[in-house]
Structure 1
Amino acid sequence: MIPMHGAYAADAAGPKRSQAEIAVRCDLAAAYRLIALHGLDDSIYTHISARVPDAENQFLINPFGLLFRDVTAGSLVKIDLEGRQLEDSPHDVNPAGFTIHSAIHAARHDAACVLHTHTVAGVAVSTLEEGLLPLNQWSLLFHQRVAYHDFEGIALDLDERERLVADLGASAKVLILRNHGLLTVGRSVADAVLTMLALEKACRAQIAVLSTGRPVREIPEAIRQKTLRQLESGDGNRMKGQTDPDQRAWHAMLQRLAPAR
Structure 2
Amino acid sequence: MSDGASEEWKVRCDLAAAYRLIAHFGLDDLVSTHLSARLPGKEHRFLLNPYGMMFDEITASSLIVVDPAGNVVEAANDSEINAAGFTIHSAVHMNRDDAMCVIHTHTVAGMAIAAQEQGLLPLNQKSMCFYGGVAYHNYEGFAVDLDERERLVRDLGDKDAMILRHHGLLAIGGTVGEAFLNMYLLEQSCRIQLTATQGGQKITLPSLDVAAHTAAQFRELGYHTDPRPWGALKRRLDRISPDYAT
With the shorter chain as reference, the TM-score category is over 0.9
Give the secondary-structure state (helix, strand or coil) at the position aligned to 1:143: coil
Aligned to 1:258: 238
Tell me which protein shows more helix as a share of its residues. 2
How far apart are residue 246 of structure 1 and its match? 2.4
Question: 2:71 & 2:234 partners in 1: Cα distance?
Answer: 31
Q: 1:245 to 1:187 in 2, by over 3 A?
A: closer
Choose between structure 1 and 2 for higher RCO, CA contacts under 8 A separated by at least 6 residues. Answer: 2
Aligned to 1:107: 95
Q: Which moved more, 1:212-221 or 1:101-110?
A: 212-221
Please say if residues 103 and 172 of structure 2, whose CA atoms lie closer than 8 Å, have aligned partners that are also in contact. yes
Question: 1:223 & 1:161 partners in 2: Cα distance?
Answer: 35
Pairing 1:123–2:111 present: yes
Query: Which of 189, 194, 203 is residue 216 of structure 1 equivalent to?
Result: 203
Please say if residues 177 and 230 of structure 2, whose CA atoms lie closer than 8 Å, have aligned partners that are also in contact. yes
Give the secondary-structure state (helix, strand or coil) at the position aligned to 1:197: helix
1:125-162 Cα shifts (integer Å, max 9, x gaps): 00001110111111011101111111011111111111
Aligned positions of 1:1-261 closer than 5 A:
18-90=5-77, 91-169=79-157, 171-234=158-221, 245-259=225-239
Question: 1:16 & 1:247 partners in 2: Cα distance?
Answer: 22
Amino acid at match of 2:228: R
1:43-102 Cα shifts (integer Å, max 9, x gaps): 000000000012421000101111000100000000101111112432110011001101
Amino acid at match of 2:236: R
Question: 2:180 & 2:146 partners in 1: Cα distance?
Answer: 26
The runs of 5 or more residues in structure 1 that have no matched partner are 1-12, 238-243
Give the secondary-structure state (helix, strand or coil) at the position aligned to 1:89: coil
Please say if residues 100 and 175 of structure 2, whose CA atoms lie closer than 8 Å, have aligned partners that are also in contact. yes
How far apart are residue 17 of structure 1 and its match? 5.8
Same amino acid, percent of matched pairs = 48
Task: Give the number of aligned pairs.
Answer: 240
Q: 1:147 to 1:93 in 2, by over 3 A?
A: same
How far apart are residue 16 of structure 1 and its match? 9.7
RMSD of aligned residue pairs (Cα, Å): 1.8
Question: 1:115 & 1:97 partners in 2: Cα distance?
Answer: 10
Amino acid at match of 2:229: A
How far apart are residue 19 of structure 1 and its match? 1.2
Q: Show structure 1 runs of 4+ deviating over 6 A.
A: none
1:227-261 Cα shifts (integer Å, max 9, x gaps): 112211226x5xxxxxx842110011112211369
The runs of 5 or more residues in structure 2 that have no matched partner are none
